[in-house]
Amino acid sequence: MLRQIFLAFAAVPALRLFSHAATLPIHERDTSTGPSCTNTTFLSVALASSLPGVSIISILAREQKNVTVPATPPFSAVDVSGLNFCDVEVVLTHAGMNDMVRVAVWLPLVGSDSTWNGRFLGTGGSGWAPGLFDYNLAPAVKLGYAAASTDAGLVDPSLGYTNPLSPASWALTPSGGVNIPLLTNFASRSIHDMAVVGKAVAAAYYSKPANHSYFNGCSTGGRQGLAEAQTYPTDFNGIVAGAPAINWAHYVVAETWPQVVMHDKNLFPSDCELDAFTAAAIAACDKLDGVEDGVITRPDQCTFDPSALIGTSIQCPSSDGKQNITTIITADVANIVQQIWSGPYNWYGLEKSASLDYLANTTVSKAGKPVGAPFFVSDTWTQYFLAKNPNFDTSSVNTNEFFTLFNQSVTQYDSIIGTSNPDLSAFHSSGGKLLVWHGLADQLIFPQGTVDYFHRVLAQSSNQPHQDTDLDSFFRLFLAPGVDHCGGGTTPGAIPVDPLSAVVKWVEQGIPPDVLDAASADGKLKREVCKYPLVPVYRGQGDANDAASWTCEPDTTWQEWL
């Protein structure tokens, strides 16, 4: 999925995927106005006292009718059409910060055919983009939510919108220091602003507050959801956080570990070679659950040794792609894969079912030689926030330098963007419900970091006086076997279908989710993702592609994985 996202991001100048909602050029809008939507006086009053230390610069409200947001993979698979909504854009600034933050709020139009379901939905971002605007707002409005998105004030002046691939336009101040106010916006503050503004706008427009408020996000969006639970515990009644980019100061640097391993050996395996190890691991461990379906259900129990491939011949495409050539797997390549799977001593490695060629990506130099090509988030984090040098070559970092950068990242930034505070007592006390899910074949964010966070929250909750120590009552974690980052569909596992509905049911009906309905990208495999630490077990009979053929059973060995 991330390779698709990378390509989609590369096309941003043409598609303007992340421009703010009031000026998106990707679909036609009927700009006819209606008095209830365009009267911004009520909004000014509503917002004036909502955010202390925040000044409202402008408010623009327009009635939008019969809007279509076209499919733009990987963000949206189908057109979302027939949308009628009040399109509100609020621009605000924080005292002394010299920032300009846009919050877009879409509200199903008031009228005889009003579809508002009485709920507010905050939406998250991806990569360096704090919000996805139309691509999150359109499906939310179609479902009847009043929904909001924000750019956190991270607009690249040369583009006119946030650059999701790089923080180059905002990371450093003119004097060369890190722009801590804008990093704080990205880390947590602007999601809180979005929640407060979005709920106030909805309450003013509908003349009553939303009955319930929710947040839904994955990756950067998942981290934003947990930032809300930790720092602003009363903003949302229910939060869905998928593949959360928590432990940011740790894991983002750890993403460069495969590049370091290759650099130190001066050896850069091809995608074809790396894919051979992933395929071999899946083949070796696929049947551990009793079913051959291309999915490693328990990656913690997969003991496949990459040295088993040494001397194996594989067919790989030539550099021009015109023919296949025979490649022999060497001991050095197997050792590189083993180090990538093991990870650095102070963090986790990739799971054996996760694609290796995202973090161990390579390219060809001008001299025609293979060289490292770091993933864009870890690369730019190192350049701008650690080295404070846009020209810093992350692919040249050796092992000693890696650990220096890792320690620097944790020391300087964990308190700002780590988003791993295990104390959720205030969120619990407010009645909030938190649903976290993570794919066990995630090729970018290490699922063990999410599991470790769960256990730290459990320990913290057990030590809280006067608190219900049953973590199940407000926080549930679901691990999806064979699913890659945010369920991109390039791996064969069953992806959670609608975790938002599960958390809505939990909040509004008091029915907590024990499983999440899930299906593979092609729809052929149906499963139920088990609540951690339960594990999926095949019943021994029936169609293995049918969820009814599986059950969730207790298992106490997961923690040994950490």
Instruction: For residues 3-20, give the mean pLDDT.
Output: 35
pLDDT digits (tens, 9 = 90+) for 457-476: 999 887 765 455 589 999 99
Choose the weakest-confidence range: 31-35, 175-179, 297-301, 362-366.
31-35
| CATH number, residue 496 | 3.40.50
Q: Is residue 400 part of a domain?
A: no
Q: Are residues 506 and 437 in the same domain?
A: yes
| Amino acid occupying residue 77 | A
- pLDDT at 395 > cutoff 50: yes
Indicate whether 242 and 335 sit together in one domain. Answer: no
For residue 123, what are the domain limits? 15-210
Confidence of residue 235 (pLDDT cuts 50, 70, 90): very high
How many CB atoms sit inside 10 A of residue 456's CB?
14
Closest CA to 312 of 326, 323, 325: 326
Residue from 134, 442, 452, 484 carrying the catalytic annotation: 442
Would 281 be classed as within a structural domain? yes
For residue range 400-426, list pLDDT tens digits in order.
Answer: 999 999 999 999 999 999 999 999 999
Give residue 324's pLDDT: 86
Tokens of 467: 């608190």
User: Beta strands of 415-547 (E only): which ranges?
Assistant: 433-439, 475-480, 495-496, 515-519, 526-530, 535-538
27 — pLDDT class (breaks 50, 70, 90): very low
Q: What is the pLDDT of residues 86-101, one digit of tens each?
A: 999 999 999 999 999 9
What Rg value do the Cα atoms of the chain yield, rounded? 24
Query: Given CA atoms 512, 299, 438, 279 in this order, what sign does their dihedral have?
Result: negative
Question: Is residue 442 among the annotated active site residues?
Answer: yes
Mean pLDDT calculated for residue range 13-27? 30
Looking at residues 355-383, what average pLDDT do you find?
94
Question: Looking at the structure, do residues 501 and 532 belong to the same domain, yes or no?
Answer: yes
Catalytic-residue membership of 485: yes
pLDDT for residue 72 is more than 90: no
Alpha carbon distance 162, 394 (integer Å):
23
Residues 169, 66 share a domain? yes
Cis peptide before 73 (omega within 30 of 0): no
Nearest to 513 by CA among 532, 535, 490: 532
224 located within any domain = yes
Establish if 263 belongs to a structural domain.
yes
CA within 13 Å, CB half, 535: 17
Q: Give, rounded to a whole angstrom, the gap between the first and last alpha carbons of the chain.
A: 26
Phi, psi angles (nearest 5°) of residue 363: -145, -175
* β-bridge mates for residue 436, sequence order: 241, 477
Please tell me the distance from the alpha carbon of residue 285 to that of residue 221, in angstroms, as a whole number: 32
Determine, yes or no, domain membership for 6: no
% of the chain at pLDDT higher than 90: 78
Neighbours of 290 (CB within 10 A): 11
Average pLDDT of the residues of the chain? 89
pLDDT of 5 > 80? The answer is no
pLDDT of residue 199: 95
Q: What is the largest CA-CA distance in the chain?
A: 74
Q: What is the DSSP letter of 472?
A: G
* Least reliable range by pLDDT among 10-19, 326-335, 390-399: 10-19
Give the CA dihedral 330, 283, 356, 407, nearest 10 degrees.
-100
Residue 378 lies in a domain: no
Q: Are residues 347 and 290 in the same domain?
A: yes
- Number of structural domains (the chain) is 3
259 contacts 394 by C-beta, under 8 angstroms: yes
368 with 431, same domain? Answer: no
Same domain, 463 and 528: yes
- Confidence band of 511 (pLDDT split at 50, 70, 90): very high
The H or E element spanning position 283 is helix 271-285
d(CA 445, CA 356): 12
| Residue 114 belongs to a domain | yes
Same domain, 332 and 433: no
Q: Give the pLDDT band (50/70/90) at residue 169.
A: very high
* Stretch among 59-73, 368-382, 387-401, 470-484 having the lowest mean pLDDT: 59-73
Residues 196 and 85 in one domain: yes
Residue type at position 460: Q
Domain assignment present for 472: yes
Q: Domain ends where: 373, 402, 428?
A: 373
- Is 112's pLDDT higher than 60? no
Closest CA to 353 of 290, 282, 285, 283: 282
pLDDT band at 557 (very low <50, low <70, confident <90, very high): confident
In the three-class reduction of DSSP (H, G, I as helix; E, B as strand; rest coil), residue 363 is classed as: strand
Are residues 168 and 26 part of one domain? Answer: yes
Least confident of 84-88, 109-113, 258-262: 109-113
The pLDDT of residue 387 is above 90: yes
Q: Give yes or no: residues 55 and 196 share one domain.
A: yes
Domain check: are 166 and 222 in the same one?
no
Mean pLDDT of 51-74: 88
Q: Which of 94, 250, 263, 485 is catalytic?
A: 485
Q: What pLDDT, on the 0 to 100 scale, is given for residue 268?
A: 97
How many residues are present in the chain?
Answer: 562
pLDDT value of position 118: 96
What percent of the chain has a predicted confidence (pLDDT) above 70? Answer: 89
Domain stop point among 339, 373, 407: 373
Concatenated DSSP letters for 177-232? SB-HHHHHIIIIIHHHHHHHHHHHHHHHHHTS--SEEEEEEETHHHHHHHHHHHH-
Tell me which of 19, 166, 219, 425 is the catalytic residue. 219
Look up residue 386 and give its DSSP letter. I
Cβ–Cβ < 8 Å for 178, 77: no
- Predicted pLDDT at 489: 61
